[in-house]
Chains A and B, each alone.
Chain A
Amino acid sequence: MMKQILALILILGLSPLISHAQSNGIYIKMGEARTKKSLTAFPPLQYSGSPSTASRNQGVGIEIFNTITNDLSVSSYFQFINQSAFLEDTAKTGLMPAPGLPNGFKFQSWSSIGADFLIRAGYSVVGNEVTLETYTYHVPRAALVLGKKYKGPVSSARRIAHTFSNDVLKALTGEEGPFLSRVVVSSDRAGGQGKEIFVMDWDGANSEQVSRHRSIAISPAWSPDGKKIAYTSYVKRVGAKFRNADMLLLDLTTGKRSLISYRQGINSGASFSPDGRNIYLTISQGTSPDIYKMTLDGTLVGKITNGPSGALNVEPNVSNSGQLAFSSDRAGRPMIYTANADGSGLKRITFAGVFNSSPSWSPDGKKIAFAGQSDNNFDIFVMNADGTGMIRLTSAKKPNGKMASNEDPSFSPDGRFVMYTSNRTGKNQIYISTVDGTEERRVTNDNYNYFKPKWSRNID
C-alpha cells in the first residue's frame, strides 16, 4: 500500500516533467481530415436456388438489390462503382474469396479498380420464403466486415434489404442505420379534397392508408415504440352540430381507434412523452391555444404553457430526454422556445426571421430543426438546442422561378438526416437532407401532396 502511494506521488511529481519534455519536441496538428465516400462494388445478386425457379423469382432479387443500393447511397458513406468497370464476371465467381473457395473471386480484381468495399450477395426463394446471403468485404484489407444470412417471407424482401443496410452501417460506424424506420404523414393521395393519414417505409414504399374519415386528418405523431399514432381530424361527433378538430389515437397492432381529446376548438399537434404514456398537444378551448399534457385516455395532467394573454403556444415537440420545444408568438412574431417537461425553464431560442415554426428535436437532444420564414417562403434550418450554430438546409426554386416552401422537418432515428416537405415541383412532396445540408434527396415521386411527415424510430 505504502509503495503504491509512493509510486503514485512519484508519477504525479514527474508528470509535469514528462509533459514538459514532450512539449519541446516538434508537434504538428493535422486538423480535420477531408472526407471521401468509399468506392463500393455491388455486383448483381446471384440466384442460388434451383435453376428452374430462377426466372420466376428474378423480381425479388432486383427489389432487394435496388433497396440496398438506395439505402447505402442515401447513407452518404458509399459511392457505387459502375458495373461495367468490373473485371470479374460476377455471375461465375463465388461469393467468397478464391483461396478458400475454388471458384471464388480475387481481391486483386477489386482493388485494381479502386474498390474500398465489395458486397457479394446471393438469394434463393423456396416456397414463400426468401433467403439472402451477404458478404461485405473491406478490399484493401482483404477482410470480411460483415457476413450474414437473412430469411423471411417473400413479402418482406424490402425489409430484409433494409435490415442488411442497417447492419452494414452498424458494422462500420457502430451505429445502426435508419432504414427500418417508417413515416406517418397526412396526404391527399386518397383522392378528393380531403386529407387522410398514411404510413409508409422511410423511402416511400409500402404506403398504407390508416384513416378513413372522409375529412381532413392532420398532424400525425408516432408513439416512441412505433405502435400507436395520434392525429387530428375534423370529425363530426355523434350529436354534435359542427366538425371539430379532435384528436384520435390509433393502435396499429390492434387497429383500435379512440377519440382522446375533443374539447371545443383545436386539439392538435400531438407529441408523445419519451415513456409513451402522455401526449403533449395544443388545445384552444375557444381562446388562445396553449400546450397541455394529457394521458393516452384523454385526462389532462397539466397546462404546460400559460399565456401571455392572446399569445399562441403551439406545435409542441418532446425530445427523447423529455425536453419541450414549441412555437410561440408571445414576443410578437412566432419564434421557437424550449422548456422543461413541466413548462419551467422557458427559453427563447430563435431571434432571426419573421416566422419560425414546427420545431423538431434530434434523437440525441442536441439539435433542433425548424421551418423558418423570412421572405415569402419557409425553409428548413437546423441549430443547436441553445439556438447557436444555425445552418440552412434548403433553398430551392419552383418551376415558375419563385422560391419553394420547405416545411415541417423531422429527424431520422439516427439523427443524420432531416425529412420535410417541399413544394418545389408544384406539389408538396417529401424530401430528406443530410443534417449538414450537403445532400438533398426526393423521397416521394408522385402527383400528390404530403403534409407534416413524422419519422419513426427503427421499428422491429
Chain B
Amino acid sequence: MNYIEEHEQQNNDEQVTRGIGISFALHALVISIFTLKTVFFTPETIDFTQAVRVDMVGLPDKTPPKDLAAPAKENPKPALPAKEEVKEKPAEKPPEKVAEKKPEPKPEPVKLPPAKPKEDGVNLEKVKAKQQNALDKLKAMAALEKIKEDVAEEKKKTATNAGTGKSDTGSAPIRGNVVSPGSSLTGIAKLQNDSYVSDLDRHIKQNWTIPEWLAKRDYKAQVRLYIDSRGNILDRKIVKSSGNPSYDEEVIATIDRSAPFPAPPEKLIAVFSVDGILIGFPE
C-alpha cells in the first residue's frame, strides 16, 4: 500500500513538473511571438474616427476676446462657472488683446465649450504632435551635422577664399552683394537668419498698434523694409496698399517707431540692405 501511494505521489509530482514546464514553454512562446511582432512589424494604427464622444455642453464664460481662441480648454464643466474678472476695461487695453484675436478662425473655439478629452493616449492630435516633435528633433540634428560639414568645408576654403571676407555657406554661395535668386540659406547662416528674423518679428510687433476705429476691417498692407548693418532704416515703402491711407500711415508709423532694428548678423547684411524684408500687416 505504502509503495503504491508513494509511486502515485511520484507520478503526480512528475506530471506537475511536466505541466509547469509545458506552461513555461507556451508562455515563453507567446511572449516571444508578441515581442517579435512588435519589433519587426509596425503596429496597426487604431482608427478612432468612428468613435463618438458625447460632451456635456454649457454656455460659454464671459471671456475677454484675447481668450477666445481656446475657451474649450478652460471650460470643462457643463454648468456655467463664474465669470472671469473683466471689470472696468482699462483705458489702454492689455497689449496682447488684439494680437491674439485673430486665431478665431480655427475650428476649436467655434465649438461650444465642451469638456476636453482627458485621455492622453487616445488623442490622435497629441500623438501626431509627438511624432512631429520627434521629426523636428531629427531635422535639427541633421542640420547640426550639416553645420559641422559646412564648418569643415569653410576651413578648407578659407585657404582659397582668403581675403574676400565672405564665407560660403552650403550650396548657395553669396556672390558679391547679391544672393543668387532661388538660393536658400543653409547651415549656420540659416540658423542665424532664422533667429534674427524672429528677433526682428518680435521687435516690430511691440510697436504694432492701430487705433480702434481702423480695427476689424480686414485691411492688409505689405511693406518692404531695407536696413543697414547697424539696423537703421535705409528705406521702407508700401508695396501693397491696404486701400486706406490711414491704415497705410499707421503701418509706416509702426516701422518708424521700431527703428533702429536689431543689427543683422554680418553675413546677412547684404540680404537685408539690398533685397529687403517683406513685412505683412497683418499678413
Contacts and interface: CB of A to CB of B under 8 A. Distances in A.
- Are A and B associated in one complex? yes
A173 B244 CA distance: 10
B196 to A, nearest CB: 9
A33 B220 CA distance: 11
A50 B80 CA distance: 62
Nearest to A141: B249
A33 B65 contact: no
Contacts of A116: 211
Given A25-B277, A438-B89, A173 B213 contact: yes
Interface of A: 20-22, 24-38, 76-77, 79, 116, 141, 169, 172-173, 350-353, 372, 374-375, 379, 381, 384, 387-396, 436-439
A34 B208 contact: yes
A32 B98 contact: yes
Nearest to A374: B80
Contacts of A79: 91
B212 A392 contact: no
A374 B100 contact: no
A28 B208 contact: no
Contact of B98 (A33, A375, A391): A33
B117 interface: no
28 contacts: A21-B181, A24-B181, A26-B277, A27-B279, A28-B204, A30-B280, A33-B98, A33-B254, A34-B208, A34-B210, A35-B93, A352-B112, A353-B58, A372-B59, A374-B79, A388-B111, A389-B104, A391-B65, A391-B68, A391-B71, A392-B60, A392-B83, A395-B62, A396-B83, A437-B62, A438-B65, A438-B89, A438-B93
A35 B212 contact: yes
Contacts of B272: 26
A459 B250 CA distance: 34
Nearest to A438: B89
Contact of B283 (A22, A26, A29, A384): A29
B99 A34 contact: yes
A76 B212 contact: yes
A33 B281 contact: yes
Interface string B220-242: 00000000000000000000000
A304 to B, nearest CB: 27
Contact of A35 (B59, B110, B211, B278): B211
B194 to A, nearest CB: 10
A172 B213 contact: yes
B197 interface: yes
A30 B208 contact: yes
A45 B238 CA distance: 40
Contact of B209 (A20, A34, A350, A390): A34
B269 to A, nearest CB: 13
Interface string B239-283: 000000000011000100000000000000001100111111111
Given A28-B280, A374-B59, A437-B65, A33 B91 contact: no
A241 to B, nearest CB: 43
B97 interface: yes
Task: Point out which of A26, A77, A393 has the most chain B C-beta atoms below 10 A from its C-beta.
Answer: A26
B62 A393 contact: yes
Nearest to A350: B112
B92 interface: yes
Given A36-B93, A79-B91, A352 B277 contact: no
A141 B246 CA distance: 10
B212 A77 contact: yes
Contacts of B110: 384, 388-389
A332 to B, nearest CB: 14
Given A24-B184, A26-B197, A389-B110, A33 B208 contact: yes
B282 A31 contact: yes
Interface string B193-219: 100010011001100111111110100
A436 B102 CA distance: 13
A27 B280 contact: yes
Contact of B282 (A30, A76, A77): A30
Contacts of B271: 26
B133 to A, nearest CB: 23
Nearest to B210: A33
A32 B282 CA distance: 5
Contact of B205 (A30, A388, A438): A30
Contacts of A32: 98-102, 282
Given A26-B197, A391-B60, A36 B92 contact: yes
Given A28-B201, A34-B210, A38-B211, 10 more contacts: A26-B277, A33-B254, A34-B93, A35-B210, A79-B91, A116-B211, A352-B58, A379-B62, A379-B80, A437-B63
Contacts of A169: 213
Given A21-B181, A38-B211, A374-B79, A29 B282 contact: yes
A424 to B, nearest CB: 12
Contacts of B19: none
B217 A381 contact: no
